[in-house]
Amino acid sequence: MSNFQEEDDEDYYLPLQDQRVFGAGIRRKRVPFVRSSEHELSTINPARPSTIPPGPSIADTYLSIVLKTKNNSTAPSTPTDHEVSAPVRSTHSAPPTSEAISPPPPAPTSKTQPLDHCEICNLPISSEPGSDTNTDTSTSRPHEASLAHQVCLQHSHPPSHLDRTRAGLRYLSNYGWDPDSRLGLGATGREGILEPLKGRIKRDTAGLGTGLDADGDRLRVAPPPPKKKVEKLNAKQARKGAVEARKRGEKLRKMFFQNDEVLKYLGEDA
Amino acid sequence: MVDRRSDSEDGARAKRQKMDAGDPKDNPYLAHLYEDTNGADKSSALAKFKRHQTTAALAKKAEDGDVNPFSGQPFSTKYFSILKSRRDLPVHAQRDEFLQLYQQSQILVFVGETGSGKTTQIPQFVLFDDLPQTQRKMVACTQPRRVAAMSVAQRVAEEMDVKLGEEVGYSIRFEDKTSSKTILKYMTDGMLLREAMHDHNLSRYSTIMLDEAHERTMATDVLMGLLKEVVQRRPDLKIIIMSATLDAQKFQRYFMDAPLLAVPGRTHPVEVFYTPEPEQDYVEAAIRTVLQIHATEDEGDILVFLTGEEEIEDAARKISMEGDEMVREADAGPLKVYPLYGSLPPHMQQRIFDPAPPPLRKGGRPGRKVIISTNIAETSLTIDGIVYVVDPGFSKQKIYNPRIRVESLLVSPISKASAQQRAGRAGRTRPGKCFRLYTEEAFKKELIEQTYPEILRSNLSSTVLELKKLGIDDLVHFDLMDPPAPETLMRALEELNYLACLDDDGNLTQLGRLASDFPLDPALAVMLISSPEFYCSNEILSITALLSVPQLFVRPNSQRKRADEMKNLFAHQDGDHLTMLNVYHAFKSPEAQANPKQWCHDHFLSLRSLQSADNVRMQLLRIMERSELEMISTPFEDKKYYENIRRALCAGFFMQVAKKESQGKSVYTTVKDNQNVLLHPSTVLAHDAEWVLYNEFVLTTKNYIRTVTAVKPEWLLDIAPTYYEPSSFPKGDMQSALLRARDRLARKEKMRAEKRR
């Protein structure tokens, strides 16, 4: 079952323009989540369940399970260990979860040693003694939510778009290439490009610097054409214009909504 | 001195060469009998040389002697005059430094700018120190281009006062000019790679030089990866990487921090100019710049870089027209314009070396020549006398899209390195000027640093086949300088699998092993190998040769109609491949052979292409005979004569097939990749074929398929059943057509079975 789900998810691919920088999503989705963990301050502290007398919700049980495995996996923290990252990919909310929780290990120590440094961003964690006193502000802005920490986090990425059934991919994975590793081919440490080079057809003789830039955006827009003189139309011209506009509208409608199969069925005139 | 291994390998090499009857000392099989006299008898000047311990002074003495230490013949007078000029070359001053580094380390990176003399001199320096003849080995120097390999070998043979093909030889695809005496071999990088396929340790060589490594051709890149592995297995092998540009640090890093030696070239300063604003039309701007230079600048020739044949011819016409007008109206000096591009016939290419025209009258303003060239004048050709360079910043570059499997030539911005190389062309003889038709900002921001190496821009199927043959299975971790994109490699593996060169586990098959013996694209090689099954190997061999040479048909602008009429004489209604075959058969007929030059001229055919096709055919025939492939033909009277050939074409090119769209006239869709294409206007295909096979996908403003032949879906289903499995196609036109064809095939089969009963 889980296997099936994973496969499904790997095929899922957002077109590039719809993809957001991962951090952007994380910040919005993540911050409340972090806050909740910071509120108790001892999420991963084994003593925590005792501090909350009411029976833990399913979410909490789940969290504790995820956290445990996550603690083990953060230690090596290599992007290549596929087995650990695989379950992360299978659900969408998972990646933020894992990252949200992974920093806490230093958190409890920070309580005791205020001048400790975060393992991930190398910044002192709540070094100011004052932060202890006004706990309200520190809960609203925990260290894990700080921008510096977020930037240093290792992000999980959407899986590669490659079709997993391709024979060529099977060959490469047999020799240890992981399509989701975001690394190209080649000797370790000298990996090559990930995506094939793209060419663009140049149809005109516009010089360098006038055309499109590397991303295909217009660099320098040609000066706007001089404004046309406003003319008054007589009745005949106005009528003609209206007919033309209607025709154009008709044509556009046809272009967008006409269906070849329906047409074949109903005949050309329908 | 001679160890057993090299001895036996040398014997293997000799097997393939004709033995010159005579002196048994030349017989490598008997080499062990003459061990003691080895090298010493004929080369007294080298007798005291200790391998890898010589100095420049020692070598100089040997060079100045009376007897050629390598051939044993007395030196000619010409030798000494050349020797004198050789000693003026910049590399000569650093001979000792070079020898020290060469002796110390296994790999050396050598940077010499153009004009330093590295290609001709360094290999000779190596000969005097490496003494390959005492090891019964050779020194190899690779070149990216065939012409360079030939001409440099010729030059070095003269410098060493030996006959080309004896001590100094060359080896290029379809031509081997070496002998058992050869100690220095110039070769294309592709040839060395082919040799490595049969001899994984390159044990015939004591030193290998990769020249022009900065050009980063596919073969050089693969060779570098390979040599990196070979040097670990063979500590006695020395490698020199020669590059002309300063990105040599990249080579150094790649080769485990090998030492670097740089020799300055002999160049003059070049002043670079930019435009303040981007140009709206770079062709027009280039034309105006040329005329401006002609009107205002001092004497000196102009080199203009444009992108393609059409653009160049057009600009050449406009410039000479305007130039004439300037002569009439403003008393300017005469202007001579020469176009230069790869497909130009050689005698026209030679014209660029003509001197500039003299002033019209005594004391008049000096004449000037203008060369309008593709980027072949950037590196491959050196034209002296160029003082002004006009650089619009574009060139045609190959790019491969693995998603639609199309290799295309696109006009693209050049790289910064390329722009610098172009500018450098202005400073060969005296200080020059380079006019860039773009802003300095555009140079800094829009140009990439280095041109992408060929391996990132090409279809990799033949490279993958070569690598598999080289015994490299782990393509993931093979240490290339710039590994290609995974998708490109995947595509190549899949193509080879469909061609049955690799099995489903990616292992080389018997067919693949055979195909790698042919210096051809895998599709062509597979077609050739399977042609005996279709009873037409003679014809397919001719077609393969014809597809491997430049355009056969000549179509001069002024006589297009006449050229088309002549082409129609040969036309076959079923397509261009068969038309080409008709041309070849006519060319081989006695009436054409009586005066081939006239005949080709009359029929608007390229004699050069036909002759080289003839040569290629002969070479391929030799490989086919060696592989014991049968040479057969269907009798011409048989009505299946042409059908058999068309079927055999499918065996190699079933992945390059397009089907006509049901509605929409003459629009085709390529199989699997679903690209809309048009038949190239040059096709002779007479009827509306529903399925066509094509040789080439031309991506320009419109998508064309060129060199097409009509085929039948039944054949495709029969020849490539996995590729054309109808269930693997999306529902639609193509699938239903295939299903219909399959039904027809089944019905026919049934009928045949009934008949037999």
User: What ipTM score was computed for the predicted complex, to two decimals?
Assistant: 0.82
Q: Which residues of B touch A214 (CB under 8 A)?
A: 446
Residue B262 class from Cβ within 10 Å (0-12 exposed, 13-18 middle, 19+ buried)? middle
Residue B391 CA to residue B377 CA, distance in Å, equals 12
Q: By percentage, how much of chain B surpasses pLDDT 70?
A: 94
Judged by a CB distance cut-off of 8 A, whether residue A210 touches chain B is yes
pLDDT in tens, B571-624: 999 999 999 999 999 999 999 999 999 999 999 999 989 998 999 999 999 999
Q: How many CB atoms lie within 10 A of CB B684?
A: 20
C-alpha distances (whole Å) from B160 to each of B60, B74, B93, B154 are 13, 11, 19, 10
pLDDT in tens, A234-249: 889 999 999 999 999 9
More confident residue, A27 or A228: A228
Sequence-ordered strand ranges (E) for chain A: none
In this complex, do A168 and B485 lie within 8 Å of one another by their Cβ atoms? no
The pLDDT of residue B692 is 95
* pLDDT of residue A47 exceeding 90: no
The pLDDT of residue B329 is 83
Residue B695 CA to residue B595 CA, distance in Å, equals 31
Dump the DSSP string for B161-214.
Answer: T--BTTTEEEEETTEEE--TT--EEEEEHHHHHHHHHH-TT-TTEEEEEETTGG
More confident residue, B39 or B554: B554
In this complex, do A168 and B493 lie within 8 Å of one another by their Cβ atoms? yes
- Can you give the three-state secondary structure of B44-59, one letter per residue? HHHCCCCCCCCCHHHH
Residue A25 CA to residue B122 CA, distance in Å, equals 60
Residues 125-184 on A with a CB inside 8 Å of B are 162, 166-169, 171-172, 174-177, 179, 184
Q: How many CB atoms lie within 10 A of CB A250?
A: 10
Residue B278 CA to residue A162 CA, distance in Å, equals 40
The pLDDT of residue B473 is 92
Selection from B366, B346, B418 nearest residue B389 by Cα = B418
In this complex, do B412 and A171 lie within 8 Å of one another by their Cβ atoms? no
The lowest-confidence range among A131-145, B279-293, B533-547 is: A131-145
Residue B104 CA to residue B111 CA, distance in Å, equals 17
Confidence of residue B4 (pLDDT cuts 50, 70, 90): very low
Sequence-ordered strand ranges (E) for B93-159: 107-112, 138-143
Residue of A169, A175, A201 lying closest to B410 (CB–CB): A201
Chain A residue closest in CA terms to B497: A167
Size of interface A-B (CB pairs under 8 A): 157
In this complex, do A193 and B482 lie within 8 Å of one another by their Cβ atoms? yes
In this complex, do B479 and A187 lie within 8 Å of one another by their Cβ atoms? yes
Task: Give the highest mean pLDDT range of A106-110, B66-70, B684-688.
Answer: B66-70
Q: What is the mean pLDDT of residues B81-108?
A: 91
The lowest-confidence range among A62-66, A125-129, B688-692 is: A125-129
Q: Which residues of B touch A161 (CB under 8 A)?
A: none
The pLDDT of residue B701 is 73
Q: Which residues of A touch B452 (CB under 8 A)?
A: 197
Q: What is the mean pLDDT of residues B273-293?
A: 90
The pLDDT of residue B29 is 63
Selection from B254, B356, B373 nearest residue B303 by Cα = B373
User: Quick check: B550 and B652 in contact, CB under 8 A?
Assistant: no
* pLDDT of residue B26 exceeding 90: no
Task: Give the minimum alpha-carbon distance from A239 to chain B in angstroms, rounded to a whole number.
Answer: 35
The pLDDT of residue A33 is 37
Residue of B438, B473, B487 lying closest to A207 (CB–CB): B438
Dmax over Cα atoms in chain A, in whole Å? 88
Q: Which residues of B touch A205 (CB under 8 A)?
A: 281-284, 311
In this complex, do A209 and B446 lie within 8 Å of one another by their Cβ atoms? yes
Q: Which residues of B touch A179 (CB under 8 A)?
A: 486
Residue of B485, B494, B700 lying closest to A167 (CB–CB): B494
User: Quick check: B151 and B177 in contact, CB under 8 A?
Assistant: no
What is the radius of gyration, based on Cα positions, of chain A?
A: 29
The pLDDT of residue B49 is 84
Sequence-ordered strand ranges (E) for B539-630: none
**The two structure tokens encoding residue B246:** 């300063």
More confident residue, B514 or A92: B514
Task: Give the minimum alpha-carbon distance from B409 to chain A in angstroms, rounded to a whole number.
Answer: 9
**The two structure tokens encoding residue A223:** 């000066």
User: Quick check: A145 and B445 in contact, CB under 8 A?
Assistant: no
The pLDDT of residue B248 is 80
Distance, C-alpha B656 to centroid of its chain:
23
3-state secondary structure of A96: helix
Residue of A177, A194, A199 lying closest to B408 (CB–CB): A199
The lowest-confidence range among B234-238, B253-257, B535-539, B753-757 is: B753-757
**The two structure tokens encoding residue B677:** 């294409």
User: Quick check: B211 and B116 in contact, CB under 8 A?
Assistant: no
Q: What is the mean pLDDT of residues B513-540?
A: 94
Sequence-ordered strand ranges (E) for B39-106: none
Chain A residue closest in CA terms to B493: A168
Q: How many CB atoms lie within 10 A of CB B746?
A: 10
In this complex, do B485 and A193 lie within 8 Å of one another by their Cβ atoms? yes
* pLDDT of residue A46 exceeding 50: no
User: Quick check: A192 and B250 in contact, CB under 8 A?
Assistant: no
